[in-house]
Amino acid sequence: MFGEKLDYAILRRMAHRRNVATEDELDARARQQPVQSADDCAARLRTHIGRFDGLFPLDPDLRYLDIGCGNGEVTVAMAMMGCKNVTGVDFVPRNIAEATSLASRLGVGDDVHFIVADINDWAPLEKYDVLLSFDAFEHIENPRHFLAKMADLIAPGGVAVLGFGPLFHSPFGDHMSAFFRIRIPWRGVLFSEKAMLRVRREFFRPTETAECYQDIVGGLNLMRYSEFLEYVRDTGWDFNYLRPNPRLKSVPVVRHLSAALASVPVIRDYFVFSVYAILRRPAVART
């Protein structure tokens, strides 16, 4: 906004150190007994299911792949709902350690399988009927490449079920609220990247040396909503379902305003903070 030095001076006054932790400390926390309960996992999955207006595919005979599974809450909840073939993949080892522990503790360790892998170069032994990805797509380094690769992971007739956000250019899309006392909308867009990351190191992750948003643990790909729509089209997918900002659907006035803003190409990237979509490959290949 005002240059790196002045931006840093402004941002540091808005930050706090209550959540500061090194990578070793985060790894140690992941090795501790997980606190998620069966009800917590089920509630999170029900929230996601409710945002698909009855179109979420839930069938015990289907093979599921949960990409960017994090601590495994959704993956484990799928098994708790009777799904017998569920695989979770994440490239952060402590996430997989926590997910494996959670599955064992909640008694579904035989129905879920967790893998530490970079999805960009991972080659599974089988294909899946349903690819799930929740709260992860905004972190994948090259989303266009990944959308193309998804076709290699899904069996014929399968679908990809995506729910992600906040997108970087939306009001709180920088994913850095955990160490700021004051919430400023569009903070990541308005302030210098170097200033933001300097404050992040000082007040949140002192052992992380990322020089750009893409390099932080978990990464931020800075994808815009308009780019997501373009990537889906260019990689040969069709939308079975698409809803931006589904959390607002319970408030009619806000829902209609959100839909109006999301339909205007010039400004929609700054007001679409989350996207829920079901993608399917067309029955006949496009020419």
If you average pLDDT over residues 214-219, what whole number do you get?
90
CA atoms within 13 Å, Cβ hemisphere of 99: 31
CA distance 112 to 72: 10
CA distance 45 to 85: 16
Q: Is the dihedral of CA 39, 100, 217, 159 positive or negative?
A: negative
pLDDT of residue 104: 93
pLDDT digits (tens, 9 = 90+) for 158-177: 999 999 999 999 999 999 99
* pLDDT the model gives residue 7: 97
Alpha helices in the chain (DSSP H): 4-12, 23-31, 38-50, 73-80, 93-105, 143-153, 187-190, 193-203, 225-234, 252-262
How does DSSP classify residue 283? S
Nearest to 188 by CA among 212, 162, 154, 217: 212
Domain covering 4-280 assigned CATH 3.30.1490.190 in the classification = no
- What mean pLDDT is reported for the chain? 91
The dihedral built from the CA positions of residue 84, 85, 91 and 97, taken in this order, carries a sign that is positive
CA gap 10, 18 in Å, rounded: 19
Model confidence band, residue 271 (pLDDT cutoffs 50, 70, 90): very high
DSSP 107: T
Contact 166, 173 (CB under 8 A): yes
Map out the domains of the chain as residue ranges. Answer: 4-280
User: pTM of the entire structure?
Assistant: 0.89
